[in-house]
Amino acid sequence: MLMLKKPQLLHAEVVAHTQVFKVEQLDLRFANGTEVRYERLLGSQDGAVLIIPMIDEQTALLVREYAAGVGDYQLMLPKGRIEKGEPPLDAANREMMEEIGYGASKLTHITTLSQAPSYQTHATHIILAEQLYPEKRQGDEPEPLEVVPWRLDNLPELFATGEFNEARSVAAIYMARDLALTARGQ
């Protein structure tokens, strides 16, 4: 494996800041002397959670919500920002209660994913939620979310709907399916 030396940070500065985004400009010098200016979106320092709530061994609960980025309603897994100082598993349980009206007695951190790591610092913790129980909390969604149960053995039909294409949700639903198959010894 090639041992790469990280570039030297010459300067970092936030050049734009909105209600949602911060854009940071980085001036870097690479080991070969090349100097480059990059821009990146700064994510929340604590990251976010994306939850795979399993109502039974084969059925995940999805939500249909408006996605402003694509201007349409999409099916996806429940997700949300981790509040300052909040552990990811607590954030996952809170977000489930707010978005789908369930908590979980068993929460398992599966992995942490990045999105466009060349341009963003954002990290999403993928959490498997099992042993669900009803509990609803007030959230920050502008309208009630539709909860849609979906069997893991029916993923081709889910993708055929055209509504389920958010990359983190797609990766996570496959992870949940593989975990379910492993648990059944397949």
Buried b / exposed e along 131-169 (16+ C-beta atoms within 10 A): ebeeeeeebeeeeebebbebebeebeebeeeebbebebb
Q: Is the pLDDT of residue 20 over 80?
A: no
pLDDT at 47 (0 to 100): 87
Distance CA 26, CA 89 (A): 32
| Token duo for residue 154 | 């029916």
More confident residue, 63 or 117: 63
CATH no., domain 48-183: 3.90.79.10
Query: What pLDDT, on the 0 to 100 scale, is given for residue 137?
Result: 92
pLDDT at position 18: 86
> Is 38 a residue whose pLDDT tops 80?
yes
Domain extent listing, the chain: 8-42, 48-183
Please report the pLDDT score of residue 3 as a whole number: 67
What are residue 72's DSSP bridge partners?
67
Mean pLDDT of the chain: 90
Stated as kind and residue range, the H or E segment containing 47 is none
pTM of the prediction?
Answer: 0.86
Q: Is 118 exposed, middle or buried (0-12, 13-18, 19+ CB in 10 A)?
A: exposed
Q: Where is pLDDT greater, at 71 or 119?
A: 71
Percent of the chain residues past pLDDT 90, beyond the cut? 61
pLDDT for 165 beyond 70: yes
Structure tokens, 84: 């300052």
pLDDT at 185 over 80: no
Quick one: pLDDT at residue 144?
Answer: 86
Are the beta carbons of 119 and 41 closer than 8 angstroms? yes
Instruction: Give 46's pLDDT tier (boundaries 50, 70, 90).
Output: confident
DSSP state of 181: H
Q: Using one digit for the tens of pLDDT, what is the confidence trace for 104-150? A: 999 999 999 988 788 877 889 999 999 999 999 998 888 889 999 99
Assess contact for 149 and 61: CB atoms under 8 A.
yes
